Every structure is written in C-alpha cells, then in structure tokens.
Amino acid sequence: DPSANPPCALCGEAEDTRPCSACDAVWYCSEEHQRAHWRAGHKQACGSPGAAMPEGKAGGRREEDEEVK
C-alpha cells in the first residue's frame, strides 16, 4: 500500500515514496526531490552518527551524489 509510506522529505507528498538510497532514513517522491534535499542539507546528515544506517551502507555516500563545484 503506497499510502503507508512516509511522506516525501521535501514536499510532503505521501504517495509512491521511496527511501533515501544511501541511508533509508528519509523518503522521497522522486529522484529530483532526493537530489534537491541532498543539496539543501541532507548531505551533511546522511550517514552521520545517529542516522538510521542499515548494515552494509556505511557512509551512505556515492561519488555520483557529490555536488559538482
């Protein structure tokens, strides 16, 4: 049941959300919203001590997620 998923961390939409691909601690309705939230500050929180990090996802960061400067 898609409505049982947590709402998108960026817009609050609760339909058809998916967890952060790195930490599974927050949910998003689209890849676009995940990227926007990453740049808006989730990058610093994702994988930090105390964040929900499933086994095997230590660090939670991928090279392609790094913001290009």
Contact 60, 53 (CB under 8 A): yes
Top pLDDT among 69 and 3 is at 3
pLDDT at 38: 92
pLDDT at 55: 43
Query: Residue 31 and residue 51: Cα distance in Å, rounded?
Result: 20
Contact 47, 23 (CB under 8 A): yes
**pTM of this prediction exceeds 0.75:** no
CA quadruple 54, 45, 49, 8: dihedral, nearest 10? -40
pLDDT at 3 exceeding the cut of 90: no
Task: Assign 28 a pLDDT band (cuts: 50, 70, 90).
Answer: very high
The chain-wide mean pLDDT, for the chain, equals 75
Mark out the alpha helices in the chain (DSSP H runs). 31-37, 43-45
Task: Assign 32 a pLDDT band (cuts: 50, 70, 90).
Answer: very high
